[in-house]
Each structure stands twice: as structure tokens, then as C-alpha cells.
Amino acid sequence: MTKTYEIRDPIHGFIVLNEWERDIINHPVFQRLRRIRQLAWTDMVYPGAMHTRFEHSLGVMHIATQMFDQIRTRRNEFLKSELKFTDGGLERDAILIRLASLLHDVGHAPFSHAGEELMPIDSTNGKPFKHENYSAAAISYLMSDVIDNHPLNQNYAIKAQDVADFLNGSPSVGRSLLWRGLFSSQLDADRADYLLRDSHHTGVSYGKYDLHRILATISIANHPETGAPIVIVEKSGSHAAEGLIIARYMMFTQIYFQHTRRAYDHHIASALKRVLSHDGKQSKNGKITFPPPTCKENIESYLKWDDWRVLGMISEGLGGEDGKIIHERRHHRRIYETPEIPEESDLYYVDLICHRLGDMISFLDKAASSWYKFGNEDIMILHNGNRLIPLSRLSSVVGGLKAVNQTRVYVPYSRKNEAKQIIEMLQNGGVK
């Protein structure tokens, strides 16, 4: 009988692991997540936000497993008769989902998303690499020892490359791609965990929603337009799905895009660039970046970077002016911001302020986030037992969500009062 272990979690209670999963968690690639904060410098505003990608990854695995188990129980006949899954295939997919959800974040840069500004361009598509690319590469190049040949893998023959391909959405994994929706959709285990976890550690209630109702109503069906099997929610869970979308919107506006937190994202990205320059890292075009996730050597080099290493170098004075700002908590100050959904006159006024302040401005921060994707990515609700209807049509709240397009103007701490005086005169029509 396989031995199991329990990890106590503040969000989910006990998370149960087997020996294979424990060995993966003990692998250096995964242990690095203990040294990557989930919310970067959010503790500068919400002191409790000191949690890491390590515990979040455990939570994602826990929720993804619950989602899969509920779907398998509720839609067993559909899975077998229409999608031609076998019991053995479903059992293998259950393991694949647990491994992929556990490892989906191992490629995060120091200070999570703040470090993504320093990821190089992927020559195959002309776009910057994302942390998901680094996660897949880390699994593929460095984790075959603990995945491919583990004794508990004898009945499944899952390879590290299978997990990487699953994360990348490669067609090579076949119909198992159905389950990627459990942690790469608008109703996935990833956001299901981080909303509750981030809300808990920051001490707010904005991220709370009814997870239990979602788990009780999650299911699968064929998309009405594409015909492909997708993860859906039954009608009785539509308000719970609506609640999750609203929770994500509120967490963005109140936590993730909080003005002081965003200032520290700017400072740590600049300090990271300075720290990397001391290590001689740069891309072919001369810009300072992390190495691309294209070979084992690069991935090994990249994974040496974590919050601890960066903090140590900042403490030694290698983070430049921004490192000093972080150390002294004298971040650049927001001196003006538009409404969350600005009108054309609001954006014109920002341009006017920028013209008047000139080089006094340290940076502009712009949000451009749509909180709901329509079309084929809309969450589908099973209505009256036989009809799939997009959530945006059933929910006037979700259907009415607009993209946050707020712009903020920041200046150095020492010039805050001077800048505010100029803006006040401008508002009063007194600047010539």
C-alpha cells in the first residue's frame, strides 16, 4: 500500500501527498519555490503577504484534483461512451493533472510577475518568454530523474516531457488536453487557489467566493460551436462562477494594482536589471535579460535566481538606486491617476500633466486588463439540463465588466510636493 503524507494548509486544511509527490516536492527545482514570494513586495502595503509560490502550488494541485474527481464521478458515462476514455486512461490523467498542477509555477522569476519584465524574446514568435515556458523547460530538462523512473510510475509511464507538453498545450498529449482547462481557463484551479490564498494573507475579503459550490457543479460537455469537450458549470453553480470572476476583478483593483504595490514592482524590476548586469547577463540585442529557456545549461543558470539571492545582492548595494529605495522604503509616489475606466478627456489630462512635469516623472503605470474573455473562452453554463449558454449572457454583472485602463503618474519621493503643487495649479488653471 502506498504511504501518504499530510501537509497542513491554512486555506484547504490538509493536503494529502503520496511518496512520489513528496519526492517531487523535495526536488531542488520545486524547493526553489519556497524562495519565491507569491506577491512580490505586497507586504510593503499588506504586511501579511509573505506567502510563497511553494504553498500556492500545493493548493493548485489540491483543487485541480478535486475538480477532476468531481467531473469523473458526475460524467463517467460521457467520458467513457462519447470521449472513449478507459478507467486506466482516466487514472493516468489523474496523475498527470496532479503533477502538472503541482509543477506549473516552478519557472517563476524572482519576485514572481515583477521579474517577468526581464524575460528575453522568443525568436520563434517574436514575443517575450513567459514563466510557463520556463516551467515546462525546467521539468523537461531537470526533473526526469524524479518523474520518469520513480517506482510509483511503473503503471503509468508518465515522462517529464509529457508533463511539460501538457503545460505547453502540445497536441502530443492527445485528448488529455481536455484537462488543461482545470488550470488554464477562466475557471481554473490556479486562480481558484490564489484568490483565496492572497485574500487570506493580505487580510482582505475581496478574493472570497464559493469554491465548494463550484466543485459541486463543475462538469464537462461539448462546446456548442467547436464541438470540443470543455470544462463547464451546471446552472446551479452559475452564481458561484460569477462570484469568482467578481472576486478576481476586486482583487486586481484593490490588491494587485494597488498604487504602492505597483511602485515596488517598478523598483524591483529595475533593481533586478542592475543585479543581472553585475552577473554579466544580457541578450543578443544588448538588453539585460534572463537566459532563454532553450537548453539545460540556461535553465540551470536561470533557476539559481530567487528572492534570497536578489535580496542579498541588493543588501550588498548591487541593486543601484532602486535597490536603495526598496531598502529605505522611499518608493516613488503616485501624484495623479485617472479613473479605472477613463474617458478621452482623462487621458488628455494625463498628457497635459506629463508635458508640464517633464523629466520630473519617474514612470507611468498603465493597467490594461479585461476581466472576462468572451467568445470561445467564455465560461459555459449548462442551462436547463441540455443547453450551453455563455456566463456573460446569463450574468448582467459579468457581461457588463469593462477593461480597467487606468493610468498613474509617479515621481521621486523627493519631488512629490513640487509635483503636486504644479498639478494643483494646473487644475486651477494657474499654470502658464
Which residues are CB-contacts of 332 (< 8 A; sequence separation ≥ 6)? 263, 266, 267, 325, 362, 363, 410, 411, 412, 413
Res 278: pLDDT: 84
Burial 387-409 (b: 16+ CB within 10 A, else e): ebbbbbebbeebeebeebbbbbb
Res 112: pLDDT: 87
Terminal-residue alpha carbon distance, the chain:
81
Residue type, 324: K
| pTM assigned to the model | 0.94
- Residue 242: closest CA among 314, 303, 186: 186
* 380-383 and 387-390 beta bridge pairing: antiparallel
**Confidence check: pLDDT of 371 > 90:** no
Phi-psi region of 227 (alpha: psi -120 to 50; beta: other; left: phi over 0): left
| pLDDT, tens digit, 9 for 90 and up, residues 113-135 | 888 889 999 989 999 999 999 99
| pLDDT, tens digit, 9 for 90 and up, residues 182-197 | 988 899 999 999 999 9
d(CA 378, CA 195): 19
Domains by residue range for the chain, with CATH: 4-203+258-269+289-299 (1.10.3210.10), 332-365+407-427 (no CATH)
Grid cell at residue 295: 537548453
Res 200: pLDDT: 98
d(CA 221, CA 380): 9
**Confidence check: pLDDT of 432 > 90:** no
Grid cell at residue 377: 473562452
| pLDDT, tens digit, 9 for 90 and up, residues 38-77 | 999 999 999 999 999 999 999 999 999 999 999 999 999 9
Which residue in this structure is represented by grid cell 487570506?
200
- Reported as a pLDDT band with limits 50, 70 and 90, residue 284 is low
d(CA 366, CA 371): 15
Res 117: pLDDT: 87
Contacts of 292-297 spanning 24+ positions with Cβ under 8 A: 292/120, 292/122, 292/129, 293/107, 293/129, 293/133, 293/134, 293/136, 293/137, 293/138, 294/137, 295/141, 296/141, 296/142
d(CA 186, CA 36): 24
| pLDDT, tens digit, 9 for 90 and up, residues 302-330 | 999 999 999 999 999 999 999 999 999 99
- Angle between helix axes 53-74 and 189-202 (nearest 10 degrees) is 140
Question: How far apart, in Å, are the Cα atoms of 317 and each of 115, 278, 297, 310?
Answer: 19, 11, 28, 11
**Confidence check: pLDDT of 406 > 50:** yes
Q: What are phi and psi of 112, to 5 degrees?
A: 55, -125
d(CA 167, CA 103): 9
